[in-house]
Structure 1
Amino acid sequence: MKTTIDQVKHYVGQEVTIGSWLSNKRSSGKIAFLQLRDGTGFIQGVVVKAEVSEDTFQLAKNMTQETSLYVTGIVAEDSRSPFGYELQVSSIEVIHEAVDFPITPKEHGTEFLMDNRHLWLRSKKQHAIMKIRNEIIRATYTFFNENGYIKIDPPILTGSAAEGTTELFHTQYFDEEAYLSQSGQLYMEAAAMAFGKVFSFGPTFRAEKSKTRRHLIEFWMIEPEMAFMNHEDSLQVQENYVSYIVDAVLTNCSLELQTLERDVEKLAKIKAPFPRISYDDAIELLKEKGFDDIEWGEDFGAPHETAIAESFDKPVFITNYPAEIKAFYMKPDPNRPEVVLCADLIAPEGYGEIIGGSQRIDDVELMKQRYEEHALSGDAYQWYLELRKYGSVPHSGFGLGLERTVAWLSGVEHVRETIPFPRLLNRLYP
């Protein structure tokens, strides 16, 4: 019976064949222990000299790291293994012998591992991170599909900037200027006016020359947009969504979290509702914590976000930022127009902002005023203005950064490990 490692639990006591790679091995006299992987998981194959042919035992002892093979044996339960099973090997068929695999079971420098990212992905730690990433994506689709959202795909090539910034990748689109998208939000607002509740999931690009552990040049975002929803409605969707994906990872990635030595007790506390703190109160909190130079009207950096998050054991919403430091499309607070109806969701444990969201301006005259204040091209943004002209409604939305969320739930230090092939400042290979 041919099967995969993740399915061996169904074949205890039976003989199976698994196509796999040898990630590591060790031998102890008359027993060889093969650490096997097949993409679905890792399992130990035990080769006992007295129970196999001499050729098979010598093959097991001498096989090189990352050799591909078919291995046949009996599935047995193993309480000592985190996985819970092992394979009592009876025969081995080598498919391809790997020679001098560069990533050996020892410490390697970050740049070396990044240069060999195409091979580094095979390691147990990287496998666990990618499995958690995949679970977040799966849970995202389930959450929004089950709550009446339709997935809409915004364009990657655009003629304008979503947030009016200059940190864009420029390209030539035949005889006109174009940019790689920094957000699908504006297009998702158009989709929400057609379908009510929508979400997108796709790559975004920021030409920021940043080298922090939280930044990538190319990253993926989940961006829901919702008609007839105000800011408070949106906050409830955000905390329910984050709670849902955390629970999904805890439920379906327990082995991966164990591999990463993640403190799951901290994740188990992540249940809606989440605490909230206004921008005004955040400024006061920071001053109490020793940030004497922070003034009202300034944006928060990583040290500020970390200090605020330390006061909570759940993600915390920072609400109602000054309008001057937020995007042109955010709706002012009717009772206090110098601040906007927005929130950033800050993850615990120093992982920073994972969500930014707001209620959007729905008044066409106010949007025209914002165009003038931000020197936005009327031609490039005419279609966006028309969303307020033809049947405008209150609407809100947000964007969750996938890689920062993966880093937080995985407990890894740097976002470069949370995407298969990271694009960083000065790194475009492999």
Structure 2
Amino acid sequence: MKATISDVKNHVGSEVTIGVWLANKRSSGKIQFLELRDGTGYIQGVILKNEVSEETWLNAKELTQESSLYITGTVREDRRAPSGFELTVTSLKTIQIAHDYPITPKEHGVEFLMDHRHLWLRSSRQHAILKIRDEIIKATYDFFYDHGFTKVDPPILTGSSAEGTTDLFHTKYFERDAYLSQSGQLYMEAAAMALGKVYSFGPAFRAEKSKTRRHLIEFWMIEPEMAFCTHEESLEIQERYVTYLVQRILQKCQAELQTIGRDTTKLEKIKAPFPRISYDQAIDFLKQEGFTDIEWGDDFGSPHETAIAEHFDVPVFVTEYPAKVKAFYMKPDPDREEVVLCADLLAPEGYGEIIGGSQRIDDLELMKKRYEQYHLNDPSYKWYLELRQYGSVPHSGFGLGLERAVAWICGLDHIRETIPFPRLLNRIYP
């Protein structure tokens, strides 16, 4: 019977055949222990010399790291095994013997591993991280579907920018200028006017020359947008969504969290509602913490966000930023026009901003003024202004950076491990 490692629990006592790669092996006299993987999990295969043919025994001895094979054996329970099961091998068929596999069990430098990212993905740690990433994506779909959202896919090639063209990748769209999208938000606002509550999940690109552990050139964004929704209501959705993601990983990915050595007691604290501080309060706090150079009106960098977040065990909202450091489309506070109805959600443990969101300007005349202030006279912005002209309503939305969320939930040192093939300032290979 053909099976996978993940479903051997359903075949205890039965003989199964699994297509696998050899992750590692060791021998002790007349016993060989094979650490096997098939993409769904890991299992140990035990070969007893006196219980298999001489051909099977010799073929097993010839196997090298990452050799591929079909292995046949009887599934048995073993509570000492990481998966809870072992395979008593009866036969095997070699597909390919791998020679000189470059990633060995010894220590390797980061650049070496990144140059061999196509192979590094096979390691147990990288496998676990990508499984957690996958579960976060599935949980995202489940959450928004259960809350009445419709998934909409905005374009990747755009004729304009959501937040200015400084950090955009420019290309030619036949005879016209075009850009790789840095956000689908403007298009999601249009979709919300048609469908009420929508979200997108897709790639975004920023030509930001940053080398920090929090930045990627190509990354994935989840961007919900909600018609007839205030900023306060959006914050409540955000904290429920993040809580749902964390609880889902704790429920579904215990084995993966254990593999990467994540301290789950920190994740167990993540429950809505989250604390909130205003930008004004954050400035006062930072000055008290020794950031004497920061002034009201300055945007926060990574050290500032880290200092604020370290004061809390759970994510914290920083609200009401100055309008001048935020995007043109954010709605001013009716009681204080120099600040906007927005918030950044900062993850604990030094992971920085994982969500940025706001209530959007819905007044046509105010948006016209913003167009003048930001020099948005390009015809490619005409359609966005028309959203305020034909049936405008209060609406809010936010964007969650998938890789930053994965980095935080997994407790990773660098964002490069959160995506299969990271694109960094100095890296576009492999």
Band the TM-score falls in, shorter-chain normalisation = over 0.9
Deviation at 1:366, TM superposition (A): 0.6
Q: Offset at 1:14?
A: 1.2
Rounded to whole Å, the distance in 1 between the matches of 2:29 and 2:418 is 40
Contact 1:24 1:65 in 2 (8 A): yes
Q: 1:414 — aligned with what?
A: 414
- Structure 1 residue ranges, 4+ long, deviating more than 6 angstroms after superposition: none
- Written as runs of structure 1 = structure 2, the 5 A alignment for 1:12-161 is 12-161=12-161
Partner SS for 1:338: strand
Counterpart for residue 334 of structure 1: 334
Counterpart in the other structure of 1:387? 387
Distance 1:418 1:56 in 2: 39
TM-superposition CA deviations, 1:273-323 (whole Å, max 9, x none) = 111111111111111212121111111111111111111111000000000
User: For residues 32 and 303 of structure 1, what CA distance do their matches in structure 2 show?
Assistant: 51
**Paired residue type of 2:390:** Y
Residue of structure 2 in register with 1:229 after alignment: 229
Let me know the Cα RMSD of the aligned residues: 0.8
Aligned-partner Cα distance in 1 for 2:404–2:32: 40
TM-score (norm 2): 0.99
Deviation at 1:126, TM superposition (A): 0.5
Q: 2-side partners of 1:311 and 1:334: how far apart?
A: 30
Q: Is the 8 A contact 1:371 1:378 kept in 2?
A: no
CA distance in 1, matches of 2:348, 2:53: 55
Which residue in 1 is equivalent to 2:261? 261
Cα displacement (A) at 1:59: 2.0
Shift of 1:378: 4.2
Residue aligned with 1:296, SS: coil
Consecutive unaligned residues in structure 2, runs of 5 or more: none
Q: Distance in 2 between matches of 1:321 and 1:77?
A: 57
Q: Report the counterpart of residue 364 of structure 2 in structure 1.
A: 364
Q: Distance in 2 between matches of 1:76 and 1:287?
A: 62
**Residue 423 of structure 1 aligns with which residue?**
423
8 Å contact kept, 1:333–1:339: yes
- How far 1:377 sits from its partner (Å)? 2.4
CA deviation map 1:123-174 (0-9, x unaligned): 1000000000000000000000111000000000000011124111000001
What's 2:404 paired with?
404
Offset of residue 194 of structure 1: 0.3
Map of 2:206 onto structure 1: 206
Aligned length: 430
Letter in 2 for 1:420: P
Deviations for 1:15-69, whole angstroms, at most 9, x for unmatched residues?
1111010011111112111111101111111111122122222222221111110
Q: TM-score, normalised by structure 1?
A: 0.99
Q: Tell me what 1:5 maps to.
A: 5
SS at match of 2:388: helix
**2 CA distance for matches of 1:180 and 1:390?**
28
Look up the equivalent residue of 1:364 and give its one-letter code: L
The letter of the residue matching 2:391 is G
What CA deviation, in whole Å up to 9, does each residue of 1:90-140 have, x standing for no partner?
111101111111111111111111111111111100000000000000000
C-alpha distance in 2 between matches for 1:326 and 1:359: 12
Structure 1 counterpart of 2:375, one-letter code? A
Structure 2 residue 198 is the aligned partner of structure 1 residue 187: no
2:309 is aligned with 1:309: yes
One-letter code of the match for 2:368? K
Distance 2:82 2:270 in 1: 25
Which residue of 2 is the match for residue 319 of structure 1?
Answer: 319
Amino acid at match of 1:224: P
Find the aligned partners of 1:205 and 1:353 in 2 and give their Cα distance.
Answer: 17
| Greater alpha carbon shift after TM alignment, 303-312 vs 149-158 | 303-312
The alignment-based identity, stated in percent, is: 73
Contact 1:32 1:47 in 2 (8 A): yes
